[in-house]
Amino acid sequence: MVSRSANGDVLKVSSEVDEAELMLQGQANIWRRMFAFADSMTLKCAVELRIADIIHSHARPITLSQIATCIDSPSPDIACLARIMRFLVRAKIFTAAPPPQSDGGETLYGLTPSSKWLLHDAELSLAPMVLMENHPSLMAPWHCFGTCVKEGGIAFEKAHGSQIWDLASENPEFNKLFNDGMARIRISRAFNFDLPHVVASAPAYEGVSHVGGDMFESIPNADAIFMKWIMHDWSDEDCIKIFKNCRKALPEKTGKIIIVDGVIREDSDDPFDKTRLVFDLLMIAHSSNGKERSEVEWKKVLEEGGFPRYRIMEISISSLPVIIESSHASHVMSILFVILYLLILTIWICSICRDTKIIFRYSHFWAPTHVGYFFVWTVWY
């Protein structure tokens, strides 16, 4: 198709225009992704300099010079800071507002809902995780993806010659970085089970005792086992081994495992969708054949590990991980109830058909019982 100007001159063939526009968009996409690390590096810089904490401590938006005064340095480079803040404002990590006259004409920087997650002392903070995930030791395996595809194997081992848990046990600085990066939980009357070198430096919590061990050998007995971001670190075979050890540690009838982990969903458009896929790549980078799983994949490992029933609960309207609650209560009682229910149903139908005179006499009794048994069975199941 040909486009013409008002005086009839041929402007351009529109398919060429479309093609050129698409090429430009394609180029912009590549530039954006080539430098995507600028997002994480500037975020890391903001956490290292504690910029969110500095603004928060003033309880209102502040100027660049006020931020610079609070940075732990005798002579911070304000021009450099200004450029980094401009980037972070564009990324919606901070706000920048034109100044009121009383502040001497300087831009005022404030917090956003994103920067509030970077406060060091907040109970829910992602600051330690930002530092952990962007540490050179944890970035190095990301450079080995091509080699992993060509040769197979574990990215972390290719970068460091050992698995992540071995590096943590040998290197106290890395161990601290890793443990700080993991979220904290509050529990009363529980034990925290982890590798011996991890529990050795675990902080004390009221009502929580620390127990060291290897979950591939055995897990101490408990009423319920809570595992957050554990199973995605392991292959299906390893998950099944861990679940089997959980089964041994739990009471036969009432035992439960509560898993907080991701579930990959097709066609999801919630705000964490892309991060779930990033977590799957994170498992290539840092774990030993771990992965994020779809519900079908979870069902398979749970079943093979001895937990045939499960239900998935969203933690909030939208959240990165979900809760998978699973129990290994035996099917025997349910089957007995079904048999009993079918038996009573048959007798009741027979009584209606007047096949059995004795039972017919009591048919007014059987009808509500049938509803009752069905109810019991449904509740039990």
State yes or no: residue 116 binds ligand SAM (CB under 6 A). no
Q: Find the helix or strand (DSSP H, E) in which 211 lies.
A: strand 208-212
Asked if 315 touches ligand SAM (CB under 6 A), the answer is no
Of 84 and 230, CB closest to ligand SAM: 230
Report the residue number whose CB is nearest to ligand SAM.
182
Strands (E), 215-321: 224-228, 256-261, 263-264, 293-294, 309-314
Question: Which of 216, 365, 375, 381 touches ligand SAM by CB under 6 A?
Answer: 216
286 flagged as catalytic: no
> From the centroid of its chain, how far is CA 240?
20
165 near ligand SAM, judged by CB under 6 A: yes
Q: Counting contacts by CB under 6 A, is residue 67 touching ligand SAM?
A: no
**Helix or strand (DSSP H, E) at 97:** strand 94-97
Stretch that binds ligand SAM, among 70-78, 117-125, 209-217, 301-309 (CB under 6 A): 209-217
Residues 326 and 312: their CA atoms lie apart, in Å, by 9
- Residue 201 contacts residue 212 (beta carbons within 8 Å): no
Of residues 241 and 370, the one with the C-beta less far from ligand SAM: 241
Q: Residue 195 or residue 350: which is nearer to ligand SAM going by CB?
A: 195
Residue 281, amino acid: L
Among 198, 225, 283, 284, binds ligand SAM (CB under 6 A): 198
Q: Among the candidate windows 71-79, 138-146, 155-163, 208-216, which touches ligand SAM by CB under 6 A? A: 208-216
What span, in angstroms and rounded, lies between the C-alpha atoms of 106 and 82? 11
Check: CB of residue 373 under 8 Å from CB of residue 337: yes
List the one residue from 53, 194, 261, 292 that touches ligand SAM (CB under 6 A): 194
What is the spatial distance between Cα 284 and Cα 144, in angstroms, rounded to a whole number? 10
> In degrees rounded to 5, what are phi and psi of residue 310?
-155, 160
Q: Select 228 or 247, whichever has its Cβ closest to ligand SAM.
A: 228
DSSP symbol at 52: H
Which residue among 135, 176, 210, 228 contacts ligand SAM (CB under 6 A)? 228
Site size toward ligand SAM, by CB under 6 A:
13
**Is the Cβ–Cβ distance between 121 and 53 less than 8 Å?**
yes
Alpha-helix residue ranges (DSSP H) falling in 140-204:
145-151, 155-160, 164-170, 172-181, 196-200
Nearer to ligand SAM, 279 or 366 (CB): 279
- The least CB distance from residue 63 to ligand SAM, in Å, is 37
Of 163 and 334, nearer to ligand SAM (C-beta) is: 163
Minimum distance from residue 48 beta carbon to ligand SAM (Å): 21
Q: Is 214 near ligand SAM (CB under 6 A)?
A: yes
Question: What is residue 288's three-state secondary structure?
Answer: strand
Catalytic residue, from 160, 197, 210, 232: name it: 232
Alpha helices in 2-126 (DSSP H): 14-34, 37-48, 51-58, 64-70, 78-90
Query: Catalytic residue positions?
Result: 232
Sites of contact with ligand SAM (CB under 6 A):
165, 182-183, 194-195, 198, 214-216, 228-230, 233
